[in-house]
């Protein structure tokens, strides 16, 4: 009985830690957005926010708790229409705070299992590189593995970008063939 008193707190700790990876709200939101990718984000697009010649922004029905904003954007590029979902998750004037948030989000997203009805599960896989304050743009592009069918074009990108005097951490979900992540984040 004495040993049970020692192991019980350890087991509870392991159980809580193990669950957090699979019940993460960021992962759940990413999975919902990816599931609607084949529908061109029709089911998650909300009311019109802003329209210009280059793009149209819609409120997203899928929100990550604590995010500054979550939008679906339709881009008009090269006589094509391209769609992307973007969540602005964090903003700070401190590079070190933003870097920590970026690293924490990478750890949350890496190896996320995405389940789409009628298909085998996918795993998000990406390579982390330590950000340097001298560079204004950093990103990790997560591929969906196994890379098969139409879903192989879907990219989930986590970015750390300096805009004016602030550092921002964003998540983007887009089609690699029609849109480039850095262009979406930085506006270049």
* pLDDT single digits (tens) 29-87: 999 999 999 899 999 999 999 999 889 999 999 999 899 999 999 988 766 778 999 99
Winning range, highest mean pLDDT, from 1-15, 18-32, 83-97: 83-97
Distance CA 87, CA 10 (A): 36
Is this model's pTM higher than 0.85 or not?
no
Question: Can you read off the two tokens belonging to residue 171?
Answer: 């998540």
Query: For residue 79, what pLDDT is reported?
Result: 67
* pLDDT single digits (tens) 81-106: 789 999 999 999 999 999 999 999 99
pLDDT tier at 176, thresholds 50, 70, 90: confident
Q: Where are the alpha helices (DSSP H) in 56-162?
A: 95-109
Beta strand spans in 146-177 (E) = 154-163, 166-175
* Higher per-residue confidence, 119 vs 188: 119
Distance CA 26, CA 123 (A): 15
Query: For residue 21, what pLDDT is reported?
Result: 33
The answer to whether residues 46 and 59 touch, using CB atoms and an 8 Å cutoff, is: yes
Query: For residue 180, what pLDDT is reported?
Result: 56
* Higher per-residue confidence, 167 vs 120: 167
The answer to whether residues 45 and 72 touch, using CB atoms and an 8 Å cutoff, is: yes
Distance CA 188, CA 168 (A): 16
């Amino acid at each position: 009985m004495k040993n049970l008193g020692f192991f019980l707190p350890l087991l509870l700790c392991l159980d809580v830690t193990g669950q957090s990876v699979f019940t993460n709200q960021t992962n759940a939101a990413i999975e919902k957005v990816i599931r609607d990718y084949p529908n061109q984000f029709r089911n998650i697009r909300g009311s019109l926010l802003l329209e210009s010649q280059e793009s149209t922004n819609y409120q997203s029905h899928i929100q990550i708790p604590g995010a500054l904003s979550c939008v679906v954007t339709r881009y008009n590029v090269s006589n094509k229409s391209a769609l992307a979902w973007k969540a602005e998750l964090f903003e700070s004037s401190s590079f070190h705070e933003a870097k920590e948030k970026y690293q924490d989000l990478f750890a949350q997203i890496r190896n996320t299992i995405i389940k789409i009805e009628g298909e085998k599960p996918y795993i998000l896989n990406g390579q982390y590189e330590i950000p340097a304050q001298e560079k204004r743009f950093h990103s990790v592009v997560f591929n969906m593995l196994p890379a098969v069918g139409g879903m192989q074009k879907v990219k989930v990108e986590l970015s750390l970008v300096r805009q004016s005097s602030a550092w921002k951490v964003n998540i983007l979900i887009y089609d690699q063939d029609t849109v480039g992540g850095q262009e979406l984040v930085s506006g270049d």
